[in-house]
Amino acid sequence: MADQPEASSSSRNSHGNTRTDNVDIDVTPKLRSLHISETAKPLKSVGTSFEVAKSKSRIAIEFHKNVCKLVWTHLSCIDKTSIPHIEIEMKFGVITDKKTHRRIIVPRNNPSIVQNRTSRLISNVSKKTFTSFQESFLLQPNNPSKSTPRVVQQIHTHTKDSIYNCKSISKSDKLASWRCSENLKSKELKGTYVKKIRIKDFLIHYPHSLLDAKISISLEVPQHAASAVFKDHPSILQRFKNRSTFCFSNKVPLHLDLTKVTTKRSGSSRRSTSHEVEIEMDPIFKEAVIAKDKEKFSEYMFLFLNTSDLIRKAGECMDIVVTQEC
């Protein structure tokens, strides 16, 4: 999936009430299950430890409820014929100031949505962090981890994305990009052509984490190979993606992509390498959007946010273990 230009992270408030009572019951134990005895120091008071965990759980639940409302506000404005093309994903990285290129400092102790035009997410995580995520989610049937979602399938792909640009685009297409994706493992398959339209980005800052995140809502609309964009314009860059996709049980409708990306710009021999960690919602949520079932969608989105927290923390915990062992 090609990166999109940064959008304003200002958002409209939604005043609707979202029921998440049933979700809260299932999620709270998951959040508490992240304790890793090998790396954490025991607290003196068990009661204090429980109260702190309970407080953090409440804060996470309230924050995720607010994110659910914001996402639904934008989904509800999408035309019904476009709903099958919706994509919701979260990328990890670091939110930086566009001028200083340094990670932003938010004077808050809890996760928050960054609402300004001067920040962007750098989604290229360090190689060490990328390796930590790989080690956390490699299939290990004889030694399953209790602190991460259970992986039931791992898929490896190697693709080439050619990104196109059209100078004579209309105003409505300014937030769009075009790409042709080719499967490099099977040359018999033809390339797929896609127009990606950015709907909304939300930058999320985690003050006590090594990583921040960006939630993106977009449309991925299939295109014809004979489209003027692909026929009359050369590609401006190519992205070679070596990706491992981790799928979880049916109760967790999302998948994790760990991708090593090599980028080459047209007309240049220089190549750059980046490492991306991305979580994408499975298509089942679209049924709730089509039915305008806000409550059902909130259940899917709430599970997506909480599982994303587990995945992020699992990668960070593995990073800490590796650092200490070294």
Give the tens place of pLDDT for each residue, 128-156: 999 999 988 875 555 455 567 788 899 99
Instruction: Quote the CA–CA distance of 154 and 275 in Å, as a whole number.
Output: 18
Number of residues written out for the chain: 326
Predicted local distance difference test score (pLDDT) of residue 190: 84
pLDDT, mean of residues 50-73: 85
- Is pLDDT larger for residue 228 or for residue 52? 228
Instruction: Quote the CA–CA distance of 86 and 131 in Å, as a whole number.
Output: 30
pLDDT at 264 over 80: yes
Q: What is the mean pLDDT of the chain?
A: 81
Please, which pLDDT band fits residue 23 given cuts at 50, 70 and 90?
very low
Predicted local distance difference test score (pLDDT) of residue 206: 95
- Please work out, in degrees rounded to the nearest 5, the angle formed at the alpha carbon of residue 123 by the alpha carbons of 113 and 24: 45
Predicted local distance difference test score (pLDDT) of residue 82: 97
- Is pLDDT larger for residue 73 or for residue 22? 73
pLDDT at 46 over 70: no
Would you list the DSSP string of 82-135? GGGGEEEEEEEEEEEETTT-SB---S-SS-EEE--SSEEEE----HHHHHHHHH
What would the pLDDT profile of 208-260 be if each residue is shown by its tens digit?
899 999 999 999 999 988 887 787 788 899 999 999 999 998 889 999 999 99
Supply 304's token pair.
Answer: 């997506």
Instruction: Quote the CA–CA distance of 187 and 285 in Å, as a whole number.
Output: 32
Instruction: Quote the CA–CA distance of 318 and 310 in Å, as a whole number.
Output: 12
Q: Using the 8-state DSSP alphabet, how is residue 59 labeled?
A: H
Amino acid at site 323: T
Supply 277's token pair.
Answer: 């960690």
Least confident of 74-78, 266-270, 274-278, 284-288: 266-270
Please, which pLDDT band fits residue 5 given cuts at 50, 70 and 90?
very low
- Superfamily of structural domain 21-325: mRNA triphosphatase Cet1-like (3.20.100.10)
pLDDT, mean of residues 188-212: 92
pTM (2 d.p.): 0.79
What are the extents of the domains in the chain? 21-325
